[in-house]
């Protein structure tokens, strides 16, 4: 049973009767469970409504609340949706004041960067629509090689854990206390989290690179480590080595790069390699399904 705190989505099929939405939501309130979002809508079946609920908790808690939902009289079916068998997206519409032309141009430029669409224009406002994956988790992961990174480890929290996708999600969840720092991996194990890295002193770096990317490049300038950066805004994957940054990597390209750099010697059994890439790539692929490789 997974005891990590993560977001879970429940799909509840109910009879379309007055008060059914409040009846379901009251159940969560009585049990002390916080609802992150709740949406209801008619289905193609007459008389049935689907309520989609997002909650934060561990696997045991989610199974318990799903079992309680099934006991309600109007409820027909309750399903716990997972990422492998469902498609989940977030959608937002934002109206922005834009009276002068300069402001409008800046908003349109920003919308293009984040792949948003301008769906309505008035004399004083622009309405922007944007959708994306249910979550984009930024990440900064340093894979130690011959140069030991003890000084960086001292700035964070010491750990001794396997590279695990669920652990990485919890560390880099944007409300977690360690999410702004870096994870350091040594000989296949996570040995530190929330670690501070030196920023790059390269004045020629692109202006659109944030602190996470500059810290990743800086660490690669000061050591022979391989640094993987995942953008919190776009989910884009980058890798830094020797002060050079390779951006917009597909997950498959990242896998080849890490295998070449961290496991250059052939091994008889992949499971016996220095560290298992599977869990790391499951974490990365969760945020980057449409990555394109740099040319």
- pLDDT mean over 243-260: 89
Range name among 101-105, 111-115, 201-205, 257-261 with the lowest pLDDT average: 111-115
- pLDDT mean over 116-132: 88
Range name among 53-62, 194-203, 209-218 with the lowest pLDDT average: 53-62
pTM score over 0.85: no
pLDDT value of position 235: 78
pLDDT value of position 277: 61
Percentage of residues in the chain having pLDDT higher than 90: 46
pLDDT value of position 113: 62
Give pLDDT tens digits for 58-102: 888 899 999 999 999 899 999 998 766 677 777 889 999 998 888
| Structure confidence at residue 291 as a pLDDT band (50, 70, 90) | very low
Give the residue from 138, 143, 164 showing the smallest Cα distance to 220: 143
In the predicted structure, residue 3 carries a pLDDT above the cut 80: no
Greater confidence, 168 or 3?
Answer: 168
| Structure confidence at residue 262 as a pLDDT band (50, 70, 90) | confident
Greater confidence, 202 or 114?
Answer: 202
Mean pLDDT over each residue of the chain, to the nearest integer? 84
pLDDT value of position 238: 94
């Amino acid at each position: 049973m997974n005891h990590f705190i993560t977001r879970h989505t429940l799909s509840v099929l109910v009879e379309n009767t007055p008060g059914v939405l409040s009846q379901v939501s009251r159940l969560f309130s009585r049990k002390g469970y916080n609802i992150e979002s709740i949406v209801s809508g008619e289905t193609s079946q007459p008389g049935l409504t689907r309520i989609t609920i997002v909650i934060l908790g561990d696997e045991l808690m989610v199974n318990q609340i799903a079992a309680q939902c099934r006991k309600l009289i109007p409820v027909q079916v309750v399903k716990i949706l997972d990422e492998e068998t469902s498609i989940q997206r977030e959608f937002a519409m934002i109206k922005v004041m834009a009276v002068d032309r300069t402001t409008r141009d800046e908003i349109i430029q920003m919308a293009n960067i984040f792949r948003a669409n301008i769906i309505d224009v008035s004399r004083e406002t622009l309405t922007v629509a944007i959708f994306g994956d249910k979550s984009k988790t930024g990440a900064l992961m340093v894979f130690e090689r011959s140069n030991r990174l003890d000084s960086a480890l001292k700035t964070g929290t010491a750990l001794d854990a396997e590279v695990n996708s669920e652990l990485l999600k919890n560390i880099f969840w944007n409300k977690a206390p360690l999410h702004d720092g870096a994870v350091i991996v040594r000989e296949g194990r996570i040995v530190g989290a929330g670690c501070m890295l030196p920023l790059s002193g390269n004045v020629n770096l692109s202006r659109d690179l944030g602190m996470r990317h500059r810290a990743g490049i800086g660490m690669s300038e000061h050591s022979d480590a391989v640094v993987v950066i995942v953008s919190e805004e776009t989910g884009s994957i980058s890798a830094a080595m020797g002060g050079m940054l390779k951006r917009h990597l597909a997950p498959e390209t990242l896998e080849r790069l890490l295998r070449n750099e961290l496991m250059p010697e052939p091994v008889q059994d992949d499971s016996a390699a220095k560290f298992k890439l599977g869990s790391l790539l499951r974490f990365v692929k969760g945020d980057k399904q449409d990555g394109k490789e740099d040319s």
